[in-house]
Amino acid sequence: MITRRTAMMGAAVAALMLATPAMAQDKAPELKLPRQQVNLVAPPFAHPHEQATKQAPKIIEFKMTIVEKKVAIDSEGATLQAMTFDGSMPGPLMVVHQGDYVELTLINPDTNSMAHNIDFHSATGAMGGGELTMVNPGEQVVLRFKADRSGVFVYHCAPGGPMIPWHVVSGMSGAIMVLPRDGLKDAAGKPLRYDRVWYIGENDFYIPRDEKGKYKSYDSPGEAYTDTLEVMRKLIPTHVVFNGKVGALTGKNALTAKVGETVLIVHAQANRDTRPHLIGGHGDYVWETGKFSNRPETGLETWFIRGGSAGAAMYTFKQPGIYAYVNHNLIEAVELGATAHIMVEGTWNDDLMTQVKPPQPIPPKVQGMLETPKVVR
């Protein structure tokens, strides 16, 4: 079992090992740029933002609080001693423009038991900021980095050694979107715009079971560590879910849209490869690797998101009804939980699809022909 004292001592040792000249500075260099405070919102949504901007670069200020809590991840009794950014899985989506500076205040309340940090895949140097952000319970830290490349990127906790995968599969990951200052464009340079953003974080969870096959429950993250590590090392998840639990985006939690609306779907997976697919729709424009400096692919049926990365897909809905957005490893989608539903309102277009004839009995003559054995000559 990992005690609070052990966690804090481990963090102190890590800080000594990872110390860099930048960490020894008494004060960071001052940037004489305008500042903008942004209040983050819980997924699957994104905070208000401009898709393109003519303003000069800014310092965009974010604040995130690390929350350790027990959460139910399905309806069958499985619980997770989750470690989260701002209490959600995935952590909130941050949106800035290329050239802006991200300034994050990361808070680890003294009610937590573990040391934490944050590694931005969009940042340059110091383990993505992980070396500069290790905070024990009761501490906070402020990190600033320049968003010098556009795209969608993963961020996650990376406290060192086996703690890294354990914290990630306990919920500590999210995404940041760095938009080009002049907005998204197609392969010909034509501007692309979306009506809304849906932010989907895919999690693989590894919940230990007892000798009777029942999911085990724990009172703290540290208590769950040893058993969880044993399950993790087998590389077979018990759950693969969107936004923290089975059903997080289905039923009453389904996403909604209207025919004619264009949605940008940001999909992040900090640990395993995944294959998003919109059943009944397509990826009109897809940045499969998540980098907006690359030309988007068009008309994709399924796209590939590498583990440890995020991608983006844009689609304009053309038909009303229920759509399913899934990980197209259908075993993981159906059996383990990686499914979302989208309810789209509007008028049906018979030109795109129509049922020519409803189901009806097979005519006797046709049935007779089906039952007549064929002679092979």
The catalytic residue positions are 116, 119, 121, 156-157, 167, 172, 277, 301-302, 328
Cα–chain-centroid distance for residue 122?
15
Is there a contact between 320 and 349 (Cβ–Cβ < 8 Å)?
no
Classify strands 191-192 and 184-185 as parallel, antiparallel or unpaired.
antiparallel
Residues contacting 280, CB < 8 A, separation 6+: 319, 321, 323, 324
Q: Is the peptide bond before 44 cis (omega within 30 degrees of 0)?
A: yes
Q: What is the amino acid identity at position 34? A: P
Is there a contact between 73 and 245 (Cβ–Cβ < 8 Å)?
yes
Q: How far is 186 from 294, CA to CA, in rounded Å?
A: 10
SS3 at position 141: strand
Is there a contact between 200 and 243 (Cβ–Cβ < 8 Å)?
yes
The sign one gets for the Cα dihedral 124, 128, 131, 137 is positive
Q: Where are the beta strands (DSSP E) in 270-308?
A: 276-279, 283-287, 297-300
Closest to 218 in 3D by CA, of 78, 65, 367, 32: 78
Q: How far is 239 from 207, CA to CA, in rounded Å?
A: 8
Cα–chain-centroid distance for residue 319?
26
Through-space distance between the first and last CA atoms of the chain, rounded to whole angstroms = 74
Q: What is the amino acid identity at position 317? A: F
Paired residues of 298 in beta bridges: 285
